[in-house]
Structure 1
Amino acid sequence: MSPLKSAFRTVHLWLGLASGLIIVFVCLTGCVLAFEKELEQSWHSERYFVAPASTPRLSLAQVAEAVRAYKPKAKIGGLKVYADPTRTVEVSLAGAPEGGKGRMGREGGRLGNGAEAKGGEARAAGRPAAGGAPGEGPGKDGKGGKGRGEGGGPRVFVNPYTAAITGELNPRDNFFKTVEQLHRGLVAGKAGKLVMGISATVFLFILATGIVLWWPAARKAFSARLKVKWGSGWKRLNHDFHIVLGFYASVFLFVIALTGVGMSFDWVGEGINKLTHSPLKRPEAPESAAPAGAGVAPFAPDAVLALARQQAPDAEFYALQLPKDAKGSIRVAVLRPGAITENATDEVYLDQYSGQLISGQTYAQRPVGQRIRGLFKPVHTGAIFGWPTKVLAFVMTLLGATFPVTGTIMWLNRRRKQQRKQRPLAIAAG
């Protein structure tokens, strides 16, 4: 082995031994998050799905009244309506929840006057959330940049035909939110996030040095390093699992680790913004014009939804974010069919009194930096192209959890072999 490859082997070995346990933990929790949306909706299907009725859907005003009856002190920040007739209406409540029916830690305006529920994950991708990102909790895509996503109040799910409350989700108490916090080290605050970011960076070096070590010196050895010898003993199988499967998984794991670094360090997002000449901060939401007279009623959410459906009749969902105060505007996010992620929405701001268009932006018109950072999470979790890439991400991260184990076994076997060779020499010298 050349001195250069010997140096790479040393780096590969000791980085792997030092970070092996963390890599195994991160990969296993990543496997769970790959199917976050599907598992969440499967475990709580009654929350997300209803049997479609022959009667027309209820108005958003009726849905809001049902939520107020369920939580008298609730302040509605936004509503999300799906085109799928089997989906419930998701209502986001403003403020951080303190638990218990009708209890809210932080208050905003009621439906009509409005309130802004926080959408940390969407803001991390460089844009405001749609109604506090109502209903985008399980499997929400597009998280990137600063990686914030801990804010926001609970979401209430309402049957659009009967106004029955089908469930409530507190994002902070959600199982998958806990797994994500563990996966990203956020349970330990900034220090934990830094550790995970460093671990992802170390993993990149391990993968890069692994490719160098895999690359054979002779062309004849290529085929041997591309196939697992299934009929061999366990030591050879362990070797092939690490070397051969490691080669196939390395490219995918490199992309996963790279996006993990991007979500862990703020400077990555800032650097992307500078390189793409994108704004470092998202623009403030436009304000509504002052009403002509006193006592002017705000533009009704049902009228907003009707306008959105008229402009995009084939949309998969419509998310309404209500204004936070008397000067705020109504934000409408629309997901069109074939969108690359659930956050790849077209957005408009409407005057809350007249319903007139103030400004708008399609997904393609967003700054390049925002779009790149918005892809970090869907690429990282495999949600970028749906089921095929989710399965791929699951398999690759599961393999990633085995490589520290197989690598450690290879190192131990090599040490034992060296010790056996040294014993006869020691006896002869004695």
Structure 2
Amino acid sequence: MTRLKKTILFIHRWLGFISGLVVVIVSITGCLFVFQDEIQDALYDYRKVEIQHKPYLLPSQLKQVALKQFPKGEPGFTAYYGPDRPAMVMMTVPKLGSRYVYINPYDGKFLYQENIERNFFIIVEYIHLYLLLPPAIGGQIVGWSVVIFVVLMITGIVLWWPKRKSDRKRSFTIKWNGRWRRVNYDLHNVLGFYACSIALILAITGLSIAFDWVRTGINKTANLGQTPAIEERVLISDTINKPVVPVNTWDKGFVYAQSKSPQARMFLLYGDSKKASATVTVDAYYQPMHYYKSDSYEFDQFSAKPLRVLMHQNKSAGLKLNDMNYDIHVGQILGLTGKIIAFLTSLICASLPITGFVIWWGKRNKSKKKTTTVKGVVHRRTHKQLAIKP
């Protein structure tokens, strides 16, 4: 092995020690989260409603239903998840925390209230993102561990790359009939190679969630450094020219978005009413539970005046790419096939630190045995020489 490869191997090994446990945890939780929608749909009846051929109730009507469940609660963002799915109002309740209130969007029937902190997949998501640590700390640990994992994949490919043509067939296949150490070695190298390209995509999209600078970098790169002014502009509500008669901006904004985006099937509404300069945003998504194609509307919270309208076809390449980020990260950009690929890739990523550790441990024990054997041979030779001396 050349000096360069020895250096790369040293870096690969010790970076693996540093990040291995976090990579295993993040990868396993990623596997579990990939199919969370399908699993929850199969387990919980409240996640589906019968389609009715009439308009959705307005956000203000949904909030009234939610307030009946938690009279002291503060309504937060509101979601319409699709024609055959319930609407949801997030409530912040004193001493209880956040609650999701699920409501039939057609008739206003209360369906279910959920403590999101006890939802299994929300817990899995928090472990995946923060290791259940405070977000400011856990997010950094996870994010930089993923950065290290990217370096590990690159150095791993360099170490794996076969020099001779005769080695290539062996390098691309697992010798299942070999000794278990050989099988483990092949699992680490061969599976690592096959998963590398997809794992890099999952890692980069994960880093985009963890770090703002990655998300900004993707945007700038895709836009060749030029981001449209309409996307960068920070909008505020007019706190001076408030209308004499109060306007329900959430209702008006929702109706406006429905009329301008008739193809949309899912709507998310959010805004900070406690902050005077804040606006109200309505995102209209073309497909339920998918976040790629969407139109975005931003309104003055007092007058409901549209301040910004961003249709999907008019968004920059960078913004489209960032909108696509979640769907790529969980594989659903390619439907069920994509989710299966993301699941298997995450499973392989979880195995790599384990198989890598086994390789290191085996070599360590092998070198110890070799040292012991050499010492034994020297001892026997010395003893023999002393015995034949006069």
TM-score tier (shorter): 0.7 to 0.9
Answering whether residue 199 of structure 2 is matched by residue 265 of structure 1, we say: no
CA deviation after TM superposition for structure 1 residue 211, in Å: 0.3
Matches within 5 A, 1:345-364: 345-350=294-299, 357-364=306-313
Q: Specify the code of the residue in structure 2 equivalent to 1:80.
A: A
Aligned with 2:86 (options 85, 88, 98)? 88
CA deviation after TM superposition for structure 1 residue 240, in Å: 1.4
Q: Which residue of 1 aligns with 2:285?
A: 335
Q: Specify the code of the residue in structure 1 equivalent to 2:133.
A: A
Q: Specify the code of the residue in structure 2 equivalent to 1:348.
A: Y
Q: Specify the code of the residue in structure 2 equivalent to 1:208.
A: I
CA deviation after TM superposition for structure 1 residue 403, in Å: 1.3
Distance between the aligned counterparts of 1:226 and 1:304, measured in 2?
56
Distance between the aligned counterparts of 2:375 and 2:133, measured in 1?
50
- The answer to whether the Cα contact below 8 Å between 2:248 and 2:304 also exists between their aligned partners in 1 is yes
What are the superposed Cα offsets for residues 225-279 of structure 1, whole Å, 9 maximum, x if unpaired?
1111222332221121111111101222222223333433343344455653437
CA RMSD between the two structures? 3.4
What are the superposed Cα offsets for residues 160-211 of structure 1, whole Å, 9 maximum, x if unpaired?
3442211123445543333222223363333333222221122112111110
**Larger deviation, residues 199-208 vs 56-65:** 56-65
Q: Specify the code of the residue in structure 2 equivalent to 1:15.
A: L
Q: Which residue of 1 aligns with 2:94?
A: 98
Q: Specify the code of the residue in structure 2 equivalent to 1:23.
A: V
Cα distance change, pair 218–64 in 1 and its aligned pair in 2 (3 A):
same
Q: Specify the code of the residue in structure 2 equivalent to 1:207.
A: M
Q: Specify the code of the residue in structure 2 equivalent to 1:403.
A: L
Larger-gyration structure (1/2): 2
SS for the counterpart of 2:268 is: strand
Answering whether residue 360 of structure 2 is matched by residue 411 of structure 1, we say: yes
SS for the counterpart of 1:7 is: helix
Answering whether residue 163 of structure 2 is matched by residue 217 of structure 1, we say: yes
Answering whether residue 246 of structure 2 is matched by residue 283 of structure 1, we say: no
Answering whether residue 105 of structure 2 is matched by residue 160 of structure 1, we say: yes
Q: Which residue of 2 aligns with 1:314?
A: 263
| Identical columns (%) | 28
Cα distance change, pair 174–15 in 1 and its aligned pair in 2 (3 A):
same
Answering whether residue 198 of structure 2 is matched by residue 252 of structure 1, we say: yes
- The answer to whether the Cα contact below 8 Å between 1:34 and 1:394 also exists between their aligned partners in 2 is yes
Q: Which residue of 1 aligns with 2:4?
A: 4
Q: Specify the code of the residue in structure 2 equivalent to 1:68.
A: L
Matches within 5 A, 1:344-423: 344-350=293-299, 357-423=306-372
Matches within 5 A, 1:297-312: 298=247, 305-312=254-261
Q: Which residue of 2 aligns with 1:232?
A: 178
Distance between the aligned counterparts of 1:205 and 1:367, measured in 2?
30
- The answer to whether the Cα contact below 8 Å between 1:89 and 1:159 also exists between their aligned partners in 2 is yes
TM-score norm. by structure 1 comes to 0.73
Q: Which residue of 2 aligns with 1:138?
A: none
SS for the counterpart of 1:224 is: helix
Answering whether residue 65 of structure 2 is matched by residue 66 of structure 1, we say: yes
CA deviation after TM superposition for structure 1 residue 422, in Å: 3.7
Distance between the aligned counterparts of 1:348 and 1:426, measured in 2?
77
Cα distance change, pair 421–318 in 1 and its aligned pair in 2 (3 A):
closer
Give the length in aligned residue pairs: 371
Distance between the aligned counterparts of 1:414 and 1:291, measured in 2?
74
Cα distance change, pair 16–83 in 1 and its aligned pair in 2 (3 A):
closer
Cα distance change, pair 288–414 in 1 and its aligned pair in 2 (3 A):
same
What are the superposed Cα offsets for residues 74-124 of structure 1, whole Å, 9 maximum, x if unpaired?
44445433442x21122234xx43355xxxx7xxxxxxxxxxxxxxxxxxx
CA deviation after TM superposition for structure 1 residue 222, in Å: 0.8
- The answer to whether the Cα contact below 8 Å between 1:288 and 1:352 also exists between their aligned partners in 2 is no
- The answer to whether the Cα contact below 8 Å between 2:266 and 2:288 also exists between their aligned partners in 1 is no
Which stretches in structure 1 are left out of the alignment for 5+ residues? 106-152
Relative to its length, the structure with more helix (as a share) is 2
Q: Specify the code of the residue in structure 2 equivalent to 1:184.
A: L
Which stretches in structure 2 are left out of the alignment for 5+ residues? 380-390
CA deviation after TM superposition for structure 1 residue 346, in Å: 0.5
- The answer to whether the Cα contact below 8 Å between 2:184 and 2:355 also exists between their aligned partners in 1 is yes
Cα distance change, pair 329–253 in 1 and its aligned pair in 2 (3 A):
closer
Q: Which residue of 1 aligns with 2:32?
A: 32
SS for the counterpart of 2:367 is: helix
Higher RCO (CA < 8 A, seq sep 6+): 1
